[in-house]
């Protein structure tokens, strides 16, 4: 197949490109050339900005297009409109954040998506991200009726993840010592290895599959305690977990999701880590062992520069201060 990837050099796009190449597909990348331009030297690279610079794609043709970097409806709509006559199938990488009510476990693809009061808003933040993604989906479906695949991914993890939202925990376990862990211990955790996501997505594209799919994992209930225990087991170092209460963390200005990745204290967001993915599993989505994802993530994290600036997680000194304060809090 001839496949155009919008993006293609950062995390999900990078893995999608490699997966497609490994399967023998002919790939073109369209992006601004600002991230990892040295990757994929033998691939056709079309340099441009999709916000006003799409015309460079006119006159060519592809069997399919994969949109890995669509966040603004106006821009996604323009991409889909230009490509609809020259690319037969459109895959849009979306997010489970599109759902209006994220408090309920078991969210499936039939649940209502969020809306934004002013559809012309293009600022992306915690409140607008999900509704804007939902509008992007609608733009794609309008230009590609019956010919689009919408992948609503959960937290995507694994090697080359620039967000550190998962990497923090395996890497922290590999450092050993006392680890601050957020209660409750039985809180659900959902993640998907980027390689599992991209392999399945390519399977779907090759079948010209259409429709909307939640895509996260695993295919069993994973709790925070079992996840962290697996991180410690894989790391194989002397480590101790200290479980800390939600009230203490809130009073200490510890931010959910960023300071402590995978921790959601707000019940209104609880469903984001307990999403129904049976439709995708029925369509062939499979998951590698969690131990493999953790081990590969640790190896990749260790390959980065020693001076890497972490984008999520507690730094060691703050963690030590919090653990000391927690002990004092318990006896007060």
Tell whether 124 and 17 lie within a shared domain: yes
pLDDT at position 322 is 98
Task: Of 155, 180, 290, give the one whose Cα is nearest residue 233.
Answer: 290
Distance CA 79, CA 223 (A): 40
In the predicted model, is pLDDT for residue 332 greater than 80?
Answer: no
- The lowest-confidence range among 30-39, 263-272, 279-288 is 263-272
Q: How confident is the model over 248-257, as a mean pLDDT? A: 96
Q: How confident is the model over 232-237, as a mean pLDDT? A: 97
The residues, any chain, with a CB within 8 Å of residue 108's CB and separated by 6 or more, are: 214, 275, 276, 278, 279
Distance CA 43, CA 26 (A): 8
Domain count of the fold of the chain: 2
Q: Is residue 123 part of a domain?
A: yes
Residue 93 structural domain = 2-153
Q: Is residue 241 part of a domain?
A: yes
Per-residue pLDDT tens digits for 82-93: 999 999 999 999
pLDDT at position 119 is 84
- Whether residue 152 contacts residue 190, with contact meaning beta carbons closer than 8 Å, is answered with no
Query: Residue 292: helix, strand or coil by DSSP?
Result: helix
Tell whether 19 and 70 lie within a shared domain: yes
Q: Is residue 319 part of a domain?
A: yes
Tell whether 122 and 176 lie within a shared domain: no
Task: Of 183, 188, 202, give the one whose Cα is nearest residue 154.
Answer: 188
Per-residue pLDDT tens digits for 288-308: 999 999 999 999 999 999 889
**What percentage of the chain carries pLDDT values higher than 70?**
100
Cα–Cα–Cα angle for 187, 190, 319, nearest 5°?
60
pLDDT at position 296 is 98
Task: Of 194, 193, 172, 216, give the one whose Cα is nearest residue 291.
Answer: 193
Tell whether 130 and 173 lie within a shared domain: no
| Number of Cβ within a 10 Å radius of residue 140 | 29
Tell whether 181 and 110 lie within a shared domain: no
Q: Is residue 275 part of a domain?
A: no
Q: Report the CATH number that the domain containing residue 307 is assigned in CATH.
A: 3.90.25
Q: Is residue 117 part of a domain?
A: yes
Per-residue pLDDT tens digits for 139-178: 999 999 999 999 999 999 999 999 999 999 999 999 999 9
Compute the mean pLDDT over every residue in the chain, rounded to the nearest whole number: 96
Tell whether 70 and 26 lie within a shared domain: yes
Q: Is residue 195 part of a domain?
A: no
Tell whether 173 and 125 lie within a shared domain: no
Tell whether 98 and 172 lie within a shared domain: no
Q: Is residue 250 part of a domain?
A: yes
């Amino acid at each position: 197949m001839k496949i155009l990837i919008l993006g293609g050099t950062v995390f999900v796009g990078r893995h999608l490109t490699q997966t497609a190449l490994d399967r023998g597909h002919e790939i073109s990348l369209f992006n601004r050339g600002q991230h990892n331009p040295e990757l994929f030297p033998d691939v056709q690279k079309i340099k441009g900005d999709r916000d006003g610079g799409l015309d460079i794609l006119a006159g060519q043709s592809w069997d399919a297009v994969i949109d890995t970097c669509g966040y603004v409806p106006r821009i996604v709509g323009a991409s889909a409109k230009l490509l609809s006559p020259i690319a037969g199938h459109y895959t849009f990488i979306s997010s489970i954040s599109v759902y209006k009510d994220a408090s309920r476990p078991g969210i499936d693809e039939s649940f209502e998506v969020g809306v934004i009061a002013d559809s012309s808003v293009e600022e992306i933040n915690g409140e607008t991200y999900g509704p804007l993604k939902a509008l992007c989906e609608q733009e794609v479906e309008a230009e590609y009726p019956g010919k689009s695949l919408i992948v609503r991914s959960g937290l995507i993890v694994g090697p080359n993840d620039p967000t550190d939202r998962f990497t923090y925990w395996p890497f922290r376990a590999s450092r050993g010592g006392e680890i601050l862990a957020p209660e409750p211990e039985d809180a659900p955790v959902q993640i998907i290895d980027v390689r599992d996501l991209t392999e399945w997505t390519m399977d779907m594209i090759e079948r010209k599959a259409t429709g909307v799919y939640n895509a996260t994992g695993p295919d069993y209930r994973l709790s925070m305690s079992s996840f962290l225990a697996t991180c410690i087991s894989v790391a194989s170092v002397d480590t101790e977990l200290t479980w800390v209460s939600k009230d203490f963390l809130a009073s200490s200005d510890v931010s959910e999701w960023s300071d402590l990745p995978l921790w959601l204290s707000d019940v209104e967001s609880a469903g984001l880590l307990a999403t129904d993915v049976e439709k995708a599993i029925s369509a062939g989505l499979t998951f590698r062992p969690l131990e493999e994802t953790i081990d590969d993530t640790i190896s990749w994290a260790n390959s980065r520069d020693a001076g890497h600036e972490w984008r999520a997680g507690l730094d060691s000194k703050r963690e030590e201060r919090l653990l000391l304060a927690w002990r004092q809090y318990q006896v007060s």
